[in-house]
Amino acid sequence: MKVANKPLLLIEDDQVDAMTIRRALREIHVVNPVVHVENGEDALEYLRNPANERPCIILLDLNMPVMNGIEFLNVAKHDDALRRYPVIVLTTSDEQQDKVNSFNLGVAGYMAKPVDYRQFVEVMRSIDLYWTISELP
């Protein structure tokens, strides 16, 4: 599964969770590089920098310092240059309102952490068709 080897943008403040997600990606043979930032503010900075390669997908934690995932989604999904990036939320939150808010802000998927490899594989496969037909800038 790859889109011209565009990177995946992982927005995650927990280093153990980031390592687990990287391991799961390797296990399902995703060869795209992973760009890791630790909060929504850093993610926006990365995405708005024209020198950085555009990601094919964003994996987003909700509970982070500085700018959390919902705040990031509020900015990104209302920005014409950023709104088309598919976002998968990976979170420990069991708050129904977080799920509702995420989907209202146009996420492509929502998964509870800790990441279950089999569930992760299915979510990634479910958006594989999107990756193959999407032409992101």
pLDDT at 55: 92
pLDDT at 67: 92
**Burial degree of 129 (CB within 10 A; 0-12, 13-18, 19+):** exposed
Q: Does position 130 have pLDDT exceeding 60, yes or no?
A: no
Q: What percent of the chain has pLDDT over 70?
A: 79
- CA-based diameter of the chain, in Å? 37
- pLDDT tens for 33-77 read 899 999 999 999 999 999 999 998 899 998 888 999 999 999 999
DSSP label at residue 53: P
Selection from 32, 26, 92 nearest residue 61 by Cα: 92
Using only C-alpha atoms, the chain has a radius of gyration, in whole angstroms, of 14
The CATH homologous superfamily for domain 8-131 is Response regulator (3.40.50.2300)
Lowest mean pLDDT among 31-40, 70-79, 89-98, 116-125: 116-125
Pairing of the two strands 34-37 and 109-112: unpaired
